A and B are shown apart, each in its own frame.
Chain A
Amino acid sequence: MDINTKKLKKNAFRVTKVRGFTASRIRVPGGHMDAKYLSLLQEIAETYGNGKIHITNRQGFEIPGIPYEKMPEVNEKLQPIIEGLNINQEIPGTGYSASGTRNIIACIGNRVCPFACYDTTAFAQRIEKAVFPNDLHFKIALTGCPNDCAKVRMHDFGILGMTLPRFEPDRCVNCGACVKACRQKSVEALQTVNYRPVRNEEKCIGCGECVINCPTRAWTRSDKKYYRLTLFGRSGKRNPRLGEDFIKWADEDSIVKIILNTYDYVKHYINPQAPGGKEHIGYIVDRTGFEEYRKWALKDVVLPEIAEVSTPVYWKGVKY
């Protein structure tokens, strides 16, 4: 058996512990897809694999137990899924064109969840179109609101939905629901002054609890959607750490641009000796200093006026 393992990894197959057998990795940007693709996955697993499907940590699927020689056939079978999920591809029928930039994770978002401040699936799919295929090791995750069910601070880029609450005093009856919700469920950014809630703009995290709990539509959401962007969280061996705040009240366009700028930065500064050409971005930033990263990241980025950029940024975490 003569197989180029470097090539198959980029093609989203895995070198497994079982000699002669690989596993196919299917990306599902935003973790959301038409149910009809499940039967195709079932068919691949039962025809080429060992009949099992693993649901991956990054909201994709992994089909194990596939003989290496079946990879071209599996790639052909994957084609409707790749097309159906609108995945960028270099040559149709040959499977995934890269695997370094990982599947983009998203919580269920505002298609279903009442707390979500935006359509996480749609934003995940937009980012996927902008960044894939790419061999660089980037992990991106989106969550609908500051509850952070998607645990985005564990990823290189964490995107948390925010709502800028608008208040119409003439619709307020001072029922106290917003103040109570903010105190009990969020960060206590509201306080009653003269029978009306007053919002501490510095404290407010844009969770939208005030809007959700307002019974009279005195609180509503801003037309524009905003996000908190966190950077370079990671798990792993040397220094696992949570992502730190970079921008509060960022917009969608800026976030896409910052991620693309980061690819340029990584291409420029990555350790050429990095094993497998993969290096966590955070380690690169540790080397160049945050200010250098910030310069690259914010190149040609026009942030909303209310955006707050944190600088410098320091990370904590465990060091081994």
Chain B
Amino acid sequence: MGYQLNEEGFNAMLSELTKEYLIYAPKCYQGGNTFSDTDCIRYGEIRRAEDIVFDRKSDYSFKEVLLPVSETLFYFTEEQVKEADVPRKKGAVIFLRSCDLHAVKRLDDMYLKNGPADYYYRRLRENVKFVLMGCAVSFDNCFCGDMGSDQADNYSVSVDKKGDFYYLDCKDEAFAEILKALPHAELEVAPCHVTENKVKVNIPDHLDASIAKSTMWDEYDTRCIACGRCNFVCPTCTCFTMQDLFYSENGKVGERKRVWASCMVDGFTDVAGGGTYRRKNGERMRFKVLHKVWDYKERNGYHMCVGCGRCDDICPEYISFSNCINKLEKAMEEVSES
């Protein structure tokens, strides 16, 4: 069922939702980006329509709502352990775009279905509803079309902001009850979706491990600075590492945290005994790219990358992930000739 709401109505819906949920959406953090007087669009709790950034892509994805950047798992004092309280007491409503909604499937498959379900992920994932933000046009560097993530229908509500009005398609009964109680017009609504991306990618279907021998990775040895931004903004990167913090020098009191890890950053492949694999940045790029568009699919049957293009948006060295994908075809020719 479709609804048209004005801003007042939309805000009334939000305040109704806040009774049971925390609402997360892309927000503008003024002055919050890398360079002075630059804003950062990233996820945060919102209460009103004007807090939501509709007209720009978020620099960081929704991922941190379900998978905090840094999360305490438990506290310990000598032999005693206390599990950390749930960081969020209420359910969550997350505003996100189609590509990101496709990314939720990747997170779920990794944390809930890849062996036993992850306890900490599950408790944040429970009672979460998704609001699809329609994309009237493709943003810079998006290639959702070629990754098949330009449309999604597994949302509770979709929302498109056009002029002063919000157009919603509702698939959730609880949401529908809230909407029906508000002043609204009923009409047919289909969420906007991207029909054309400027960026196209071609993923060869005959990729195999021999591509590691291609020289295509070499340029990234010097171009890439191994900062990990591409991983941190990626809605589908799920790696984490553990940190045990001791509050005092006696080493008996502290907490265990898990924090995001990046396969591009130094230390990711360090192992006991002092070994380090993938020292070169080109090797790290190879690992990341192939994981996103090759070996993940070998295991799960679909590509990990959803084509949001945030890695391209944020790379300080202007390395394009999509352009790297487009070099794979030639690289396969190169390695099959030799």
Name A's B-contacting residues (CB within 8 A): 110, 114, 116-119, 161, 163, 169-177, 194-195, 208, 211-218, 220-221, 223, 225
Contacts and interface: CB of A to CB of B under 8 A. Distances in A.
A220 B35 CA distance: 9
24 contacts: A110-B35, A110-B37, A114-B35, A170-B69, A173-B232, A174-B243, A175-B228, A175-B262, A177-B227, A177-B265, A194-B245, A195-B243, A195-B259, A208-B36, A211-B34, A213-B227, A215-B228, A217-B33, A217-B40, A220-B32, A220-B33, A220-B40, A221-B31, A221-B36
A174 B40 contact: no
B265 A116 contact: no
A212 B33 CA distance: 9
B261 interface: yes
Nearest to B247: A194
- Among A118, A161, A169, A174, max chain B CB count under 10 A is at A174
Given A116-B36, A118-B37, A220-B31, 13 more contacts: A114-B35, A161-B36, A163-B36, A170-B69, A170-B70, A173-B232, A173-B260, A176-B266, A176-B267, A215-B232, A216-B69, A220-B33, A221-B31
The 9 closest A-B pairs by CB, nearest first: A215-B229, A173-B259, A195-B243, A110-B36, A194-B245, A175-B265, A173-B260, A171-B69, A215-B227
Interface in B217-238: 227-229, 232
Interface in B15-33: 29-33
B305 to A, nearest CB: 19
Nearest to B231: A215
A161 B243 CA distance: 36
Nearest to B33: A217
B31 A171 contact: no
A119 B37 contact: yes
Nearest to B262: A175
- Among B32, B37, B70, B243, max chain A CB count under 10 A is at B70
B68 interface: yes
A174 B259 contact: yes
Q: Which secondary structure dominates chain A's binding surface?
A: loop
B32 to A, nearest CB: 5
B69 A212 contact: no
B266 A117 contact: no
Nearest to A117: B36
Contacts of B29: 217, 220
Contact of B42 (A114, A117, A217): A217
B123 to A, nearest CB: 17
Given A118-B36, A217-B60, A172 B70 contact: yes
Contacts of A119: 37
B246 interface: yes
Given A212-B35, A220-B32, A169 B70 contact: yes
A124 B32 CA distance: 24
A211 B266 CA distance: 19
A218 B68 CA distance: 13
Interface string B128-172: 000000000000000000000000000000000000000000000
A276 to B, nearest CB: 40
Contacts of B265: 175-177
A194 B245 CA distance: 6
Given A215-B227, A221-B31, A172 B69 contact: yes
A217 to B, nearest CB: 6
B259 to A, nearest CB: 4
A172 B260 CA distance: 9
Contact of B34 (A118, A175, A212): A212
A246 B293 CA distance: 57
A188 B233 CA distance: 28
Nearest to B34: A212
